[in-house]
Amino acid sequence: MSTRLPAAALLLALAPAAAADRPAAPDLGALIECRGSYEAFMQLAPVQADPLAAVALGWRPQAQANPFMLEYRLNTPVEVFGHRTDHIALAGDAILAVLDLGDPRVLARELRLETGIDTPQKALFGLEVRAEEVAAEDGGWIESAVINVSNVDSHPGKTLAGCSYSRDPLEPGEPAPATGASPGVALPR
């Protein structure tokens, strides 16, 4: 009688438990295009704190070319804003695709974003596409999502495009924000 059969059976029995321990893969396309939720974005917090959490998702941590961004290569590319990439970054409250686009202005025009900075060296565009009031016993908060498109010196010839997510407490007596996408914004589907 072989002792390998019980070991193989044990491995098969443990496989579902091991799969259950792995973090669920986030919908990167939805998060990067501001179609995700604040809660879904916050599920990436372990990835920012622990490179092994990123590896468990199939992401390969990259050398840090910019001190404000954690960069990853994806085993499976993602399509965002009509462009395919396997290079993403997390920067504070934002998740970004690193796109092979030399001029961010082209994408910013396609998305009808507002100009923040537009000089020969630096381009930054954005637009709040969602602001929703969430009621709570303590007064609640506003959750917002802002599409950002920019360039950065640490990544010449690249465009950073993604979404910043925030949750801010409502001030007493503050009126509720309008909900839904801002007029004139064509969000990718």
On the question of pLDDT at 172 being above 50, the answer is yes
Q: What is the arithmetic mean of pLDDT over 154-182?
A: 78
pLDDT of residue 154: 95
The answer to whether 136 and 114 are in contact (CB under 8 A) is: no
Structural domain count, the chain: 1
Q: Is residue 124 part of a domain?
A: yes
Structure tokens at 79: 């399509």
pLDDT of residue 138: 77
Q: Is residue 186 part of a domain?
A: no
Convert the pLDDT of each residue in 10-24 to its tens digit. 333 444 444 445 557
Q: What is the arithmetic mean of pLDDT over 148-168?
A: 96
Average pLDDT, the chain: 84
Q: Is residue 182 part of a domain?
A: no
SS3 16: helix
Q: How many CA atoms lie within 13 A of 168 on its CB side?
A: 14
Q: Is residue 90 part of a domain?
A: yes
The lowest-confidence range among 27-31, 63-67, 113-117, 184-188 is 184-188
Q: What is the arithmetic mean of pLDDT over 60-79?
A: 95
On the question of pLDDT at 41 being above 90, the answer is yes
Q: What is the arithmetic mean of pLDDT over 107-132?
A: 96
pLDDT of residue 136: 83
- Which domain covers residue 29, as residue numbers? 25-169
pLDDT of residue 9: 39
Q: What is the arithmetic mean of pLDDT over 56-82?
A: 95
Strand partners, 88: 72, 97
Q: Is residue 122 part of a domain?
A: yes
Q: What is the arithmetic mean of pLDDT over 80-88?
A: 98
**pTM for the model:** 0.79
Q: Is residue 12 part of a domain?
A: no
- Rounded alpha-carbon distances, angstroms, from residue 169 to 1, 72, 137, 161, 172: 66, 31, 12, 27, 9
On the question of pLDDT at 89 being above 50, the answer is yes
Q: Is residue 1 part of a domain?
A: no
pLDDT of residue 23: 57
Give residue 135's identity as a one-letter amino acid code. Answer: A
Kindly provide the residue ranges of all beta strands, DSSP E only, lying in the chain, ordered along the sequence: 59-61, 70-80, 83-91, 94-99, 114-118, 123-134, 141-150, 159-169
